């Protein structure tokens, strides 16, 4: 029987609890705001051997070593820490080690230090071969972490579960915490076949000829693609067990909508509020919230938005030379549609942790409903409205 305990906790606590519920026995830690609370909680867990490492680079390398034994490992980071890990991230994915890492997104030091929420850290890792699930609340952090273990270990690829720093990491909310036995049962045992064992000659990650390299890389590509189906199945089982259902992209009021807001991360909660408010005013507005960014659920998104007139994509990130990342990927997803397709409006808001208010989202919707889309550059939305 499943019992859930309802607790007032933040996303950092939810993440640490999820590692515990998944049966993790080893953790690697290195402090960085806004992730440090996760590390403190893991270190105080008597069931976990927590290694206080010397850098995020060595946190990930250490975790890779733990995974080589067929043992799960808890790690979490943000911003500079994630960037510092990036070399090893390619190798962890290439070695097909299903590590699950928590990230609380924070702006990256470019022109200066800024500790606020911005998703460029995780989005920089889109090409590394890691699955990426993104949350808008502490409850989702708890749930998607558990689902991530299932998906990662099934497709033998590592996974990032991310939430926007502070909005998810620090904000307390009532969270249903599933009981230990049901969580362990849902997550299952970590796979151990094919891993190094003393006395057995085997080499891992050695030099391979280009033809073999191509074959290995294509396996990763195909298995990444298959992760969407695995996510759907794991999520269905999660819903049966725990009552909350997730889809790679969750739609709200999208079927008859003329305008659909598209978000990834904590803006989703505000967007839900705005959509419900505008619906009350009789406006045909809907919402698509990305839960899965790698693999990108292009077909699901395309199917869900195909009859809308316009998409209002609001990104809390900025890719220099491109614009918003989710907008760019949404455009790619629509590329195969023949005939009429929704216009894509790319808005960038909330960089550096600036709050994205309902008024800002309404200004974006109003702009899209009255003006043609800009080509080739995003529109910045601030409290002052849309800047052309």
Partner 1 sequence: MRDNLLDRLSESLDLPAPQQDVFVSGHTACPGCGAIPAIRAVTRIIGPNAIYLVPASCASLYVSPPDTTALQAPVIHTVFAAAFAQAEGLAYALKRQGRDERVVVWAGDGACYDIGLGGLSGIAARGADVLVFCNDNEGYQNTGGHQSTATPPDATTPIGRPTADDAPATSQRKDLVEILAAHRVRYIATASPAFPEDLEAKVKYASSLSGFRLILLMTTCVTWGFEARHSMRLARLTVDTGYFPLYEVEHGVRYRITYEPPMRAVEEFAALQKRFRNGDLVALKREIAQKWEDLRFKAGRYPDGAKA
Binding site for partner 1 (CB under 8 A): 25-26, 28, 49, 51-55, 57-71, 73, 87-88, 91, 196-209, 212
| Residues in the chain, overall count | 388
Contacts of 294 (CB under 8 A, 6+ apart): 126, 130, 131, 132, 160, 224
- Cα–Cα distance measured from residue 174 to residue 197, given in angstroms and rounded to the nearest whole number: 44
DSSP alpha helix (H) spans, 243-292 = 267-280
The residue among 4 and 86 lying less far from partner 1, judged by its C-beta, is 86
The residue among 130 and 166 lying less far from partner 1, judged by its C-beta, is 130
Least Å from the CB of residue 158 to partner 1? 14
Name the token pair of 170. 């620090």
The residue among 56 and 329 lying less far from partner 1, judged by its C-beta, is 56
Q: How far apart are the first and last CA of the chain?
A: 55
Least Å from the CB of residue 113 to partner 1? 22
Contacts of 217 (CB under 8 A, 6+ apart): none
Is the backbone peptide bond immediately before 66 cis, with ω within 30 degrees of 0?
no
Least Å from the CB of residue 98 to partner 1? 14
The residue among 47 and 370 lying less far from partner 1, judged by its C-beta, is 47
Q: Which of 207, 162, 180, 205 is nearest to 61 (CA)?
A: 205
The residue among 129 and 286 lying less far from partner 1, judged by its C-beta, is 129
Least Å from the CB of residue 66 to partner 1? 4
Least Å from the CB of residue 19 to partner 1? 15
Task: Give CA separation, 121 vs 73, 83, 87, 204, in Å.
Answer: 21, 7, 14, 29
Least Å from the CB of residue 39 to partner 1? 16
The residue among 57 and 176 lying less far from partner 1, judged by its C-beta, is 57
Least Å from the CB of residue 21 to partner 1? 18
Residue 369 φ then ψ, to 5°: -80, -10
- Cα–Cα distance measured from residue 287 to residue 323, given in angstroms and rounded to the nearest whole number: 21
Angle at 138 between CA 135 and CA 142, to 5 degrees: 80
What is the three-class DSSP state of 383?
Answer: coil
- Cα–Cα distance measured from residue 302 to residue 265, given in angstroms and rounded to the nearest whole number: 19
């Amino acid at each position: 029987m499943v019992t859930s305990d309802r607790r007032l906790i933040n996303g950092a606590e939810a993440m640490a609890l999820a590692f515990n519920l998944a049966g993790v026995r080893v953790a690697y830690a290195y402090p960085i705001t806004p992730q440090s609370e996760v590390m403190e909680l893991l270190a105080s867990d008597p069931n976990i051997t927590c290694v206080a490492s010397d850098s995020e680079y060595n946190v990930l390398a250490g975790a890779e070593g733990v995974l080589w034994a067929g043992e799960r490992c808890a790690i979490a980071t943000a911003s500079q820490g994630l960037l510092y890990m990036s070399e090893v991230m390619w190798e962890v994915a290439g070695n097909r080690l299903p590590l699950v890492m928590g990230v609380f997104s924070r702006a990256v030091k470019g022109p200066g230090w800024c500790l606020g929420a911005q998703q460029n850290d995780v989005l920089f890792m889109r090409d590394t071969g890691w699955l990426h699930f993104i949350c808008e609340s502490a409850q989702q952090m708890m749930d998607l972490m558990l689902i991530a273990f299932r998906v990662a270990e099934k497709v033998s690829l590592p996974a990032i579960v991310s939430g926007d720093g502070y909005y998810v990491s620090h904000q307390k909310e009532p969270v249903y915490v599933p009981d230990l036995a049901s969580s362990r049962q849902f997550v299952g045992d970590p796979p151990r076949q094919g891993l190094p064992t003393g006395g057995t000659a085997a080499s891992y990650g050695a030099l391979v000829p280009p033809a073999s390299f191509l074959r290995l890389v294509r396996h990763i590509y195909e298995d990444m693609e298959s992760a969407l189906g695995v996510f759907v199945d794991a999520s269905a089982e999660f819903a049966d067990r725990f009552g909350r259902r997730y889809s790679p992209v969750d739609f709200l009021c999208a079927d008859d909508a003329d305008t659909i807001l598209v978000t990834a991360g904590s803006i989703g909660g505000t967007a839900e509020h705005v959509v419900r408010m505008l619906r009350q005013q009789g406006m045909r507005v809907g919402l698509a919230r990305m839960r899965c960014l790698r693999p990108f659920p292009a077909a699901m998104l395309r199917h869900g938005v195909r009859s809308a007139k316009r998409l209002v994509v609001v990104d809390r990130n900025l890719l220099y030379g491109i614009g918003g990342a989710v907008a760019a990927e949404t455009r790619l997803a629509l590329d195969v549609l023949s005939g009429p397709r929704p216009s894509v409006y790319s808005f960038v808001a909330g960089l550096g942790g600036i709050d994205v208010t309902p008024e800002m989202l309404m200004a974006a919707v109003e702009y899209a409903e009255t003006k043609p889309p800009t080509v080739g550059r995003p529109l910045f939305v601030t409290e002052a409205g849309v800047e052309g």
